[in-house]
Amino acid sequence: MKFKYPEKFLPLVKSINSAPVQNEAGITVGWSAIVTDQAGRAIGGGTAATRDLATRIAVAESLECLEREIGFTPEEQETLKCGRYPTRCGMAAGFERKPTLMRAQVEAVERWLWSKWVDEQYFITEIPRPPLTGLAEYYAGKFERILYFEKLVHHDIAGVPQPLRFGAILAVHAGGAFPGSRVCSTSEDPWEHAAIEAWRHLKIFENLGDRADLYPFLAGRIKYFGENHSAAIAALGKAHNKNWPRPEIDTLVELRQPQYDGYSFFRAICKDYLPWHQGDHRRFVF
């Protein structure tokens, strides 16, 4: 892909690298890309079926990280409610306006769903193992076993597919549990992204000593549940309430536009959402 970072970000970006993902038979099932800063720290990662798409995902994620670290003015931080929500939850960067807007909104719904599921015990159905892409198979194979959960999400959010599809996995390995999920349209596959996300959580757990960049609350949860898979299973197993409310977008901010900034940036937050950073290490919300 062809993209030039804004001048203010250039001193922080060192390299963009990519490599094929190959299964045990040596067959390339996808590509992985990573953006690093001057200290060699990963500030954006992407995994997808093609090299270009993996790179686009990695660069978009790096823009979210860079914006959050040094990009926002004090006025923009206030508009984005960074004081109340001091994480990247609901933030999305991308290279086309409409898909980026969509991604911010569905991520807001995804965060809301996890909170409702874990904190308020709204029920989500466990399903048999669904069909997986070659890339999803590769990452799912890194775990001893996986539990799959799925829910159709009805809403009244304008311009967003109706209903949305929530796919989540709980991947178990060496006594620990590692979640992954995606919210998408019913015509899309959530499992590939969910498996990749679970694998990334596993890698973070295995290298916690070198991850001083993590939010402290997130590091605590990854460590706790990385050693206590039964606690994770119990957290999801408590859910019993089937009378789900509908998600509503409470905050929606557009901050960057492709024609002026070279990329799009949105933040969306759902109404009645318990922020990601609240709670202790035993709150199974990543």
Residue 31 confidence (pLDDT) above 90: yes
The predicted-structure confidence for 8-21, as pLDDT tens digits, reads as follows 999 999 999 999 99
Contacts of 208 (CB under 8 A, 6+ apart): 214, 219, 222, 223
SS3 content of the chain, % helix, strand, coil (to 5): 35, 30, 35
Domain ranges of the chain: 107-249
Please determine, for residue 117, whether its predicted confidence score (pLDDT) is greater than 90.
yes
Residue 121: is it exposed, middle or buried by C-beta count within 10 angstroms (0-12/13-18/19+)? middle
As a whole number of angstroms, the distance between CA 77 and CA 92 comes to: 15
Spatial distance between the Cα atoms of 156 and 248, rounded to a whole number of angstroms: 7
pTM for this entry: 0.96
Q: How confident is the model at residue 38 (pLDDT cuts 50, 70, 90)?
A: very high
Query: Alpha-carbon distance 149 to 135, whole Å?
Result: 19
Contact 181, 169 (CB under 8 A): yes
Check residue 190 and give its pLDDT: 98
Amino acid found at 94: G
Strands 42-48 and 91-94: unpaired
Handedness of CA 96, 101, 107, 110 (dihedral sign): negative
- pLDDT recorded at residue 2: 84
SS3 173: strand
Q: Is the pLDDT of residue 210 over 90?
A: no
Res 249 pLDDT > 90: yes
